[in-house]
Structure 1
């Protein structure tokens, strides 16, 4: 038994290549342009700003990735939006 292999968290190049291929397939499957993502970002900002103050527009990140929830290759939209505080109604 090799103790170094048990405690190492090194990812194989095969796994990295498989992840990259999945991302390429997701982007191809979703066929979204940068303009599309920018439009989504602006719509999300408009909607969320009704409920919360947003830290900075420059820190907002919108991306397409994979979701393992259904079949492992489903496109998923991921948004990271830093919020300063929630507005009280």
Structure 2
């Protein structure tokens, strides 16, 4: 191990942190123009789905998509494999 190897480790950690920050910023930018009710709608949909199927928190995605003159609510639910029951 060289004398300055610890500097390389910090550089890798810094680049990882930078990439994570870019992802967070991109997510925030995508929700800035969206309606305020989308996070609440996502949370409520998750609660209803969990009554029937055991799904992860990230399983429900709710987005507002512009199609021509109309705003379309895009809801995506990732369901687990068959046979899983609600907890």
TM tier relative to shorter chain: 0.3 to 0.5
Q: TM-score, normalised by structure 1?
A: 0.45
More strand by share: 1
Structure possessing the higher radius of gyration over alpha carbons: 2
Q: TM-score, normalised by structure 2?
A: 0.46
